Amino acid sequence: MIAALVLAAGRSQRMGQPKMALPWGDTTVIGRVVQVLSQAGLEEILVVTGGAQQAVSAALQGSGARLVHNPRFADGEMLSSLQLGLASLPPACEAACVALGDQPQIQPEVVTALIRRYLEGGASLVAPSYAMRRGHPWIVRRSWWPEIQALEPPRTMRDLLHARAQDIDYLAVDTDSILADLDTPDDYQSQRPPGADANPPGLR
């Protein structure tokens, strides 16, 4: 089983309000991420929350996603959320599809292609690549998890990926959506889909 692990514990300091709960089409930013992962066939979806725990929980009401709170979110280290998320996945899970909660631009066909590549190619980590740049989401086999859990700051996941570069299978995609995320009000205004409130409360 491949489970989805969504990292949504950021403090949204540059956005000025919980960015995961901002409108996105007919849902929210985090709601769209969960939608895409579900459309790609991932049934187990775990979302790691942080500073916007209540807003994310409300945004995902009825989505079927399971939430776990990272009490260390204020440290600002995404690694702790990744480690907590992996530790919270069911034992039957053989791999995790790691996605960002502020990346509603991700496309179901990209996630589906990553899953297919993982299942057919046999690599222990499959990541999307656009213009020679690695993006999200990526799929990591359980055999990597002990090494990820053993990482301690200042080491990051990037350091581990560099050290094990030969074990990564890159899937070239033709969309830069794998590189996009939402950090600032300008990011939101320029990337929001038609129909989303151009000036939600807090961004006016």
- Both tokens of 183, joined, read 């950090």
What ranges in the chain are assigned the alpha helix state H? 29-39, 53-59, 78-88, 108-121, 145-150, 157-163, 185-191
Residue 26 belongs to domain with CATH number: 3.90.550.10
| Mean pLDDT in residue range 27-40 | 96
Share of the chain above pLDDT 70, in %: 92
Residue 33 in contact with residue 16, Cβ under 8 Å?
no
Is the pLDDT confidence value at 115 over 50? yes
Per-residue pLDDT, 77: 77
Residue 129 belongs to some domain of the structure: yes
Per-residue pLDDT, 18: 79
Q: Single out the residue of 169, 156, 175, 27 nearest to residue 101, CA to CA.
A: 27
Residue 175 belongs to some domain of the structure: yes
Is the pLDDT confidence value at 204 over 50? no
Residue 200 belongs to some domain of the structure: no
Residue 55 belongs to some domain of the structure: yes
Question: Which of these ranges, 12-16, 37-41, 142-146, has the smallest mean pLDDT?
Answer: 12-16
Full residue range of the structural domain in which residue 142 is found:
2-180
Q: Single out the residue of 126, 104, 129 nearest to residue 117, CA to CA.
A: 126
| Mean pLDDT in residue range 72-101 | 92
| Mean pLDDT in residue range 141-170 | 94
Is the pLDDT confidence value at 133 over 60? yes
Distance, CA of 66 to CA of 68 (rounded, Å): 7
Residue 197 belongs to some domain of the structure: no
Whole-Å CA distances, 64 to 60, 95, 170: 8, 19, 30
Looking at every residue in the chain, the average pLDDT score rounds to 91
State the pLDDT confidence band at 13, using cuts at 50, 70 and 90: low
Long-range contacts of 37-40 (CB under 8 A, 24+ apart): 37/4, 37/6, 37/97, 37/99, 37/111, 37/137, 38/63, 38/64, 39/108, 39/111, 40/108, 40/111, 40/112, 40/115
Residue 135 belongs to some domain of the structure: yes
Residue 189 belongs to some domain of the structure: no
State the pLDDT confidence band at 118, using cuts at 50, 70 and 90: very high
Is the pLDDT confidence value at 76 over 60? yes
Per-residue pLDDT, 14: 64
Residue 86 belongs to some domain of the structure: yes
Domain count, the chain: 1
